[in-house]
Structure 1
Amino acid sequence: MSLGGQTVAVHIAMWTNEHGYIPGKKELDHKCRNRLCVNPNSDHLEMVTRKRNALRREEARRLRCEEVRT
């Protein structure tokens, strides 16, 4: 998808259309954990720092692994 002449992921374009541009040091976290989700609602996407996004991703992986083991 194109946004301002630049190719971006659809979820970023949807967020920008709904909430405005994402500052340079922020990125979108899929709170719903579905990377294909493009719903710009705050239940699905949240603007966070790269570090926060990485921590949440690792936590989600850890929890998934625990579910598989039980």
Structure 2
Amino acid sequence: MRRQKRDMTERAYQRGYQAGIAGRQKDNCPHNQDQLRQEWLTGWREGRTDHWDGIDTATALEKQAIH
């Protein structure tokens, strides 16, 4: 039995968060579709905030699992 693919909006958010926590620029957003781009940027903003607040990678991974 195949596993279902994750929701694309959730995936865009998660990838944006990962980019933000890693300190990458928001210009690196790979999405052209408005809804996916918005989700990616929302994740990126949250990731950047966590990065600036000093949250380490392990804590960020825990936070992603909860979201």
How does the TM-score come out when normalised to structure 1? 0.34
Instruction: Determine which structure has the larger helix proportion and give its number.
Output: 2
Q: Which has the higher contact order (CA 8 A, sep 6+)?
A: 2
How does the TM-score come out when normalised to structure 2? 0.36
**Larger gyration radius, structure 1 or structure 2:** 1
